[in-house]
Structure 1
Amino acid sequence: MKSELNRNYSGVAEFILLGFRTPPRLQVLLFSVFLIIYMVILAGNVSMVIVIKMDSRLHTPMYFFLRNLSCLDVCYSTVIAPKTLANFLTNEKKISYNSCAAQFFFFALFVTTEGFLLAVMAFDRFSAICSPLLYPVNMSQKVCVRLVSGSYICGGINSMIQTGFTFSLRFCQENRLDHFFCDVPALIKISCSETFVNEVVLFILSALIIVTTTTVILVSYAYILSTVLKIPSTGGRRKTFSTCGSHIAVVSLFYGTVFFMYTQPGAIASPEKSKIIAVFYTLIIPMLNPLIYSLRNRDVKDAMKRMLCGK
């Protein structure tokens, strides 16, 4: 069937994002919900960036990474949310071929970078707790900048490979994407090319990134747990676990959804399930991250109070 379509290939200039299969009367409700979520993402993450930037007490490696995490959350949710919100209010849910490629490229860039940054943050906690005397050297400003830059480089490499492979596919008469943004599983599904290689590349790259970063995180926290259990003071153990608890919560949410989405065959076969998972990691997690870090972090709460009080 695909070989026959390949002979009749004429190309597509735009895609139609089908989005969520809901009655028209619910579109306005979904628009309101998504708008509130997006506004909370912007308010929460921008506030984190401003607080960390303004308070000199937060000019440490941990908060340098947290500030970059907030920037990434704003970036990749902004790649998705505005177009999704616009599509709720219009019957023509179109996106041009080039805009679709650009949306996917930047989304893959920022999401992959966040995965590596979470691994860097775990390594930072490992250095601070397990090697406190060497921490200023191991996590100097130059090292921190290099680690963040390396995360962006890894994200860029993955994004270029994924975008190149995905948009080298042929798209024939079918241009309706059963999704609310341009993502690999939905694009593969409507392609009239042979997609086996693309599916293998998607699986290998996703698995490689997830395995590499989660290994760093798990090994870091194994050493942290071993070190914390040796602390004689119950208060000291509680304080250390509290510091790491926020990061563990964010990592669990992020990797759980991404793993299910990009390394499970069912993600391609079940569009509706994919959309729900995609909403979680494109919008819900960026909304929760600043709340998790601010509510569980006394330093951030104190910095916010000082800034609001003008001190």
Structure 2
Amino acid sequence: MSLDDKATKPHDRLSEALAADMDAVNGLIRDRMASEHAPRIPEVTAHLVEAGGKRLRPMLTLAAARLCGYDGPYHVHLAATVEFIHTATLLHDDVVDESAQRRGRPTANLLWDNKSSVLVGDYLFARSFQLMTETNNMRVLSILSNASAVIAEGEVLQLTAAQDLRTSEEIYLKVIRGKTAALFSAATEVGGVIAGAPEAQVRALFDYGDALGIAFQMVDDLLDYSGAADSIGKNVGDDFRERKLTLPVIKAVAKADAEERDFWRRVIEKGDQKDGDLEQALALMAKHGTLNATRDEALAWAAKARTALSALPNHPLREMLDDLADYVVARVR
């Protein structure tokens, strides 16, 4: 599919199908990110929330709920909760990573400062818990609060594993399942729960979100080495410069000879990077086929996401979710 043709983009079709619900979500977000006493909060939040993000995660919640026949009001609360959790993690991530660009714009920590980003992120986490309790559903509270803990755990695991050449593919999967897939799977799962869907459908929604999130993050990690800066919203090679051990590098390290391992130890573990090192890293990944191998794994996870949907009711939204799984990996086909 062409990524330039808006009519082919599943998230645009989802947005159109869920337009009324998304209007309600956006209104709730604007209302709850306000602060009477701390104007810095809506300033920082609006910079990120209104930066042109696709609102994919809240749309997953809305789509899951509607797909399962929900006609109540609380899918809107849950979708806003998911977006607040996501925005809070982005604010914190940019501080941890010392990032200067997000979605093609300067990060909040660059425009304001690290303290503002951390504290506003904390505020959004608090708001998210307020929103989820308003549903009066202990199961969705359990799912989303657990996801918040798993996300934080994944970030800490990444912090300790990111520059350790002993980091395995198994640990990498734990990291991305925490930092990315946990919120995808929670977003879809709570949609089914609030709709009172049968357990088999709730499980299918969880499996779909989990696999979609893993594919999504693998593609993101792959594009850091093979994408165009203007299309990925950050500079190519940022993960390399930040010494992150993502899957393409982990696979290259596993196949490295002694000389290659010394290179990876210097640039990743020691952080001694010089001109030409990124090009050398790319050459080693090409030599061992690790970019293609990462691509194949992302495609396999997208296929798992699509398979999970078979347990869900026949519905136009199900077709859109199926197409979305394909779209997530379309950039690396």
Give the TM-score of the pair, scaled to structure 1.
Answer: 0.36
Q: Which has the higher contact order (CA 8 A, sep 6+)?
A: 1
If you compute each CA radius of gyration, which structure gives the higher value, 1 or 2? 1
